[in-house]
Amino acid sequence: MALFLPALVVLIVTTSAPLVYLAWTSLERIDLSMPWLSGFAGAGNYLQMGADPRFWHSLWLTLIYTVSTVVLQVLLGLGLALLVLRIPKGQGILRVAAILPIVLAPVVVGLFWRTLVLAPDVGLVDVVTRALGLPSYNWLGDPKLALLSVIAIHTWQWTPFAFLVMLASLSSLPPDVFEAARIDRASAWQRFRYITLPLIRPAIVIVVIMRTMIALSAFAAIFAATGGGPGTATEILNLYAYRTSFSELNLGYGAALAMVLLAITLAVSFVMFRARRAR
Binding footprint of another protein on the chain (CB under 8 A): 174, 176-177, 179-187, 190, 194-195, 198-199
Nearest alpha carbon to residue 256 among 35, 55, 39: 55
CA distance linking residue 13 with residue 36, whole number of Å: 30
Handedness of CA 243, 61, 148, 100 (dihedral sign): positive
Least Å distance between CB 84 and another protein? 22
Question: Are residues 218 and 211 in contact, defined by beta-carbon separation less than 8 angstroms?
Answer: no
**By C-beta, is 196 or 265 nearer to another protein?**
196
Q: Nearest approach, Cβ of 80 to another protein (angstroms)?
A: 24
Smallest gap, in angstroms, from Cβ of residue 206 to another protein? 17
List helix spans (H) across the chain.
Answer: 5-11, 17-26, 44-50, 53-86, 91-103, 106-112, 124-131, 143-171, 175-183, 188-191, 197-216, 220-225, 237-246, 251-278
Q: Which is nearer to another protein, 115 or 187 (CB)?
A: 187
Helix (H) or strand (E) holding 29: strand 28-29
For another protein, give the closer residue by CB, 116 or 180.
180
Q: What is the DSSP letter of 120?
A: T
The nearer residue to another protein, 34 or 177, going by C-beta atoms, is 177
Minimum CB distance to another protein smaller for 144 or for 182:
182
> Closest approach of Cβ 193 to another protein, in Å?
11
Least distance (Å) from another protein to the CB of residue 183? 5
Residue 182: CB minimum distance to another protein, A: 5
Q: Name the residue nearer to another protein (CB basis): 76 or 203.
A: 203
Q: Are 243 and 23 spatial neighbours (Cβ–Cβ below 8 Å)?
A: no
Residue 14 per-residue DSSP state? I
CB of 279 to another protein, least distance (A): 11
> 245 forms bridges with which residues in the sheet?
none
Residue 185's region, left for phi above 0, alpha for psi from -120 to 50, else beta, is left
Nearer to another protein, 157 or 196 (CB): 196
Instruction: Work out how close the CB of 79 gets to another protein at its nearest, in angstroms, rounded to a whole number.
Output: 22
Tally of CA atoms within 13 A in the half-sphere of 29 that contains its CB: 14
CA 264 to chain centre: 14
Residue 15 vs 187, nearer CB to another protein:
187
